[in-house]
Amino acid sequence: MLKKYLGIALLLGLLFQATSTFAQVKGIYLTQASLENTTYLNYLIKRAKASGIDTFVVDLEIPSKRYRDNIALLKENNINYVARIVIFPDGGTAERVNNPDYWQRKYKLVKLAVDWGANQIQLDYIRYNTKQKASSENAKKIQTIIQWYKDKLTAQNIPLQVDVFGVASFGESKNIGQNIKLFSQSVDAVCPMVYPSHYTPFAEHYRTPYETVYDSLSSIQDQFDDKMPIKMYAYIELSNYHYPAMSRAKKIAYIKAQLKAVHAAGADGWYAWSPHNRYDNLFNILEDQKTTRE
């Protein structure tokens, strides 16, 4: 009898492990304008549900009634709403980074997003601009700001995510002040923007999207000796702006390679980035994969 129960326990454990391995968060990014376009939003919701996408990362820049009402549409369709708040557009200056009053002004958007049902908050451009002099003090100052937001969100039981440049995957970026290992003390998830178009030499990474994404995500895990204390949601891209003349077939292959790399690296999920919020290629790929599995 004991052997029987042990066998059942082992089977359940394997099933749980398999489920955990493949239950990745799947999300797309939306501008505020796309969110407020009700007709297009309904189209995106329909395609997202059909393809297994469960999360929309949505900009909040200027509060509006249409925004609030359309967030309700996401909730009605069981789509997670992650509010993306840009803290320092184009990167912070020393004056803004050191100004708590500025942080507070941005927090008004965070608080509003929570009031409207945000499941999580994602801070973007939480960094210095690229002209900042390199110093390890930069990341410490950015960390102070992140912790300030984390303290406020913890009281509301809202998880905090931060976006980081792909270069930070390989260690501290001393100019812009991004240090994933340091930030892990104050966030629930890190969202590395591992877009192949953002790595030099551009031609090499354009040709090797799988390796680019996989190496970046693996390097983040290496910073923690493969014991990630936080979630990791990778940002991938649907096209490469250095090579805009990509054929549809090449775009499909480009997207598939990144999705495969995210999965192989064991990330907790991904967010797809299209600046114009055109996701038909992604939807078609996911629907085809879903049909194949069934």
For residue 225, the domain's CATH number is 3.20.20.80
Task: Judge whether 9 lies within some domain.
Answer: no
Report the relative pairing of strands 55-59 and 160-165 from DSSP bridges: unpaired
pLDDT in tens, 53-71: 999 999 999 999 999 999 9
Scan for tokens 């394997």, then name that residue.
14
Contacts of 5 (CB under 8 A, 6+ apart): none
| 269 assigned to some structural domain | yes
Q: Is the pLDDT of residue 19 over 60?
A: no
Kindly give the residue spans of alpha helices, DSSP state H, lying in the chain: 2-22, 32-36, 38-51, 65-76, 94-97, 100-115, 136-154, 180-183, 202-207, 209-223, 248-265, 280-293
**What is the percent of the chain where pLDDT is above 90?**
89
Q: Which amino acid makes up residue 179? A: N
Higher model confidence: residue 10 or residue 146? 146
Structural domain includes residue 6: no
Residue 247 counted as domain residue: yes
| Omega before 244 within 30 of 0, i.e. cis | no
CA distances in angstroms from 148 to 13, 76, 151, listed in the order given: 39, 32, 5
Query: Which pLDDT score, from 0 to 100, does residue 293 have?
Result: 73
Tally of domains in the chain: 1
Q: How high does pLDDT run on average in the chain? A: 92
The pLDDT, as a whole number, for residue 290 is 80
What is the structure's pLDDT at 294? 63
